[in-house]
Structure 1
Amino acid sequence: MDDRKFITTGADLPQWSNPISHAVVVNNMCFISGQLSVNVKGEYVVGTIKEEAIRAFGNVFSAAKAAGFDKSEIVYVDIAFSDLTEVQDVNDIYMDLFPEGKRPARTIYEAAALPFGGKIKVVATAVKSMKNG
């Protein structure tokens, strides 16, 4: 029996023709695909690094929600930047999105190029507690 759940659509998720799932749920884990500054129509929205980061993280949270997860269940974040000198601007947003003491583990790196010429791409993993009750 296949216990995987593939999230390809959702009310707040970008709708586009790319052959991807926004997220895949396996047991108590949710693997969220790289999210960009894309609106619900699937159109890339150019902005400052902060604006693009807010939209990309919003898409991550929307994918998590569509999969039945809360942003507080995100345990790992992978962030690709087109320019690593903009890390501090994203750190400011990150600290607002995730409370101190409950911030996910993360990796950051500079990518030679991101889709649509974007400034940031965010990948995440969420895990539900296995506690009973």
Structure 2
Amino acid sequence: MPTFTNDPTLPTPSFPGSHLVIDDHYVFISGLTVADLSNGQAVQGDVKEETRLVMRALSRMLELEGGSLADIVRVDIHLTDLHAIQEMDSVYAEYFEPGRYPARTCTETPHICGGSSVEITVMAKRANR
């Protein structure tokens, strides 16, 4: 049976959903933006810094469940401007071992909630499963 939970360090979601859904095999994390982070508002518009803060938050969330970024198997990324993909990729790639990148989709979404430039959603294999 899945567990539906919220990260206690983040504000409660303003949407009808959970930060994390955990089943026997996977951890699903809802799309995360810097607008979802209490300290992220100041960097909005800086794609590299938004990506860095979101990836750090995702790492922390996975660690709370006993995992790490290395357990991620799928990523969905939304950018308000797809021309910024190289900037985003330059930071994103730092968080994975070269040659061991998750399956990924990256799309342009002109309006991301909260005015952020980047939103990242992940699916990770549960550690030791």
Short-chain TM bin:
0.7 to 0.9
* Counterpart for residue 23 of structure 1: 20
SS at match of 2:53: helix
Q: Which residue of 2 aligns with 1:32?
A: 29
TM-score after normalising by structure 1: 0.83
Aligned length in residues = 127
Structure 1 position 116, deviation (Å): 1.4
Contact 1:38 1:56 in 2 (8 A): no
Distance 1:39 1:32, change over 3 A: closer
Q: Counterparts of 2:40 and 2:92 in 1: how far apart (Å)?
A: 24
Structure number with the higher helix fraction is 2
1-structure distance, mates of 2:102, 2:22: 18
Query: Are 2:88 and 1:97 aligned?
Result: no
Tell me if 1:128 matches 2:126. yes
Number of the residue aligned with 1:14 = 10
Using the alignment, how far apart are the partners of 2:38 and 2:59 within structure 1? 17
Q: Which has the larger displacement, 37-46 or 107-116?
A: 37-46
- Structure 1 residue 68, shift from structure 2 partner: 2.8
**1:77 is matched with which residue?**
75
Find the counterpart in structure 2 of residue 65 from structure 1: 63
| Structure 1 counterpart of 2:94, one-letter code | D
Q: How many Å separate the matches in 2 of 1:50 and 1:30?
A: 25
5+ long unaligned stretches in structure 2: none
Alpha-carbon RMSD across the aligned residues, in angstroms, is 2.1
Change (3 A) 1:128 1:16: closer
- For residues 25-72 of structure 1, give each alpha carbon's deviation from its aligned partner in whole angstroms, at most 9, with x where no partner exists: 011101110000146537634241101111111222222222332111
